[in-house]
Amino acid sequence: MRIELKNFKKTFGDITVIEDMSLSLESGEMLALLGPSGCGKSTTLFAICGIHRMTGGQLLFGDRDVTLVPSQQRNVGVVFQNYALYPHMNAYENIAFPLMIRKEDRKTIEKKVSEIAALVHIGELMERKPAQLSGGQQQRVALARALVREPDILLLDEPLANLDAKLRLEMRSEIRRIQQQTGITAILVTHDQVEAMSMCDRIAIMNKGDIVQLSSPQDMYQNPNSEFVASFLGNPPIAFLDGVVTDGGVQLASSEALLPLRGQHGLPSSGMPIRLGIRPEHFQPENPLKVTGRISFVETQGREELYDVTLSNGSVLRSIQRQGGGYHLGDEVSWGIAENQILAFDASGARLHMGALA
């Protein structure tokens, strides 16, 4: 079902959490609300499921205006961070609870519960109480409970935050599989960019109560519209070089080094400050635009190796390379930046679009 949030505003007392936010989801789409803590992503989620009343704005499920509809009649399924399973009921009763509230007959309930249990692979756990289930199993029960009454929209509030690393990986693909299999419209709230990128069709990055960019994971990674977005996405994170635009290119701050970005147009006029964002995969030994520095940190990640290279002016660039480069801590290296992959930002953090000269 198509979900539309128009001019949403939310205040708690004197504090305005969200000023004016609009968002729309296509039917069957999974969207991530991604942002640092306190950016208002959970507030948005609670407004959509009806637990918080909206201070202003409008919420549409399909053509139905649910702005003033209480939570019970909205038909949303929510998976909470701590799963919020009912501790005194076993898995079956937990999943059946929404149906019992609707007073469906026993046969129908049994049929629906066993169908959904098969979908989330917990068929054999139905007799267990939540305390007897592992984190991943609790997560599956919570998903089943949220999905069993075929909600218009599925809301996931940091669903993986309480799982250990291995389970998180497993549940990431499981949630996506279940979402795609049921074709439900879903919103995932998370502060983890890896989750957002790997699970969702689109990502809305939020900062201070506003959506700063809304795009597909791929596009957002390659074309961030601000420094905030660029620094939020990517692991290991992007590195920045401060500098000033000169005739010959970019003069790095407190350094003699000049990056000759002659092949680029769209640079601001001379004398303007500029920040260059360089992702670790675009700072490699074989690239032509060399900068020199000293390896100040090496992190082995198994398949790859992550190097921090400190330049003479103190700035740090990161590089991620295959194993076996033979570089060591303290080595003086001269590696190159992939010129056409540089992301440039002005002093306010907004993206400057540069392109190669034709």
Partner 1 sequence: MNTNFKSWPILLALGLTSVPLVTMYAYMIIDTVTVSPPGSFIPNGISFGSWSFLWEAPAPGRPSIWSVTLNTFIFACVSTLMALSVSLTGGYALSRLHLPFRGFFLGGLIVLHAFPTITLIIAIFLILQMVGLYDTLAGVILVKAALEIPFGVWIMKGFYDTVPWEIEMAGLTDGATRFTVWRKLVLPQVQPGITALGIFAFLSGWSEFILPQVLAPGADAQVLGVYLQSLISDDTSMDFAKFKSVGVFYAIPVILIYILFNKHLMNIYGGGTKG
Rule CB under 8 A: is residue 51 a binding residue for partner 1? yes
Tokens of 182: 């049921």
**Terminal CA-CA length for the chain:** 45
* 73 binds partner 1, rule: CB under 8 A: yes
Q: Please identify, using beta-carbon distances, which residue of 92 and 97 lies nearer to partner 1.
A: 97
Q: 7, 22, 27, 82: which one contacts partner 1 (CB under 8 A)?
A: 82
**HSE-up (13 A, CA, CB side) for residue 164:** 4
102 binds partner 1 (CB under 8 A): yes
- Contact set for partner 1, span 215-254 (CB under 8 A): none
Q: Does 327 bind partner 1 (CB under 8 A)?
A: no
- How far apart are alpha carbons 339 and 240 in whole angstroms? 14
Structure tokens at 137: 């199993």
Binding to partner 1 (CB under 8 A) within 149-168 occurs at 149
Nearer CB in complex with partner 1: 43/226: 43
d(CA 177, CA 73): 27
Distance of closest approach, residue 136 Cβ to partner 1, in angstroms: 18
With respect to partner 1, which residue has the nearer C-beta, 82 or 296? 82
Tokens 């400050």 belong to 273
SS3 215: strand
Q: Which is nearer to partner 1, 77 or 280 (CB)?
A: 77
What is the gyration radius of the CA atoms in the chain, in angstroms?
25
Residue 25 or residue 154: which is nearer to partner 1 going by CB?
A: 154
In the complex, least distance from residue 8 CB atom to partner 1, rounded to whole angstroms? 18
The reply to whether 280 sits near partner 1 by the rule CB under 8 A is no
Cβ atoms within 10 Å, residue 8: 24
Smallest CA-to-CA distance from 277 within 332, 333, 237 is with: 237
Shortest approach of partner 1 to residue 100 CB, angstroms?
9
Q: Which of 3, 30, 39, 78 binds partner 1 (CB under 8 A)?
A: 78
Nearer to partner 1, 103 or 166 (CB): 103
- Is 333 exposed, middle or buried (CB count within 10 Å of its CB: 0-12, 13-18, 19+)? middle
Distance between CA 272 and CA 197 in Å, rounded?
34
Stretch 27-46 residues interacting with partner 1 (CB under 8 A): 46
Q: Which residues bind partner 1 (CB under 8 A)?
A: 46, 49-51, 71-74, 76-78, 80-88, 97-98, 101-102, 145, 149
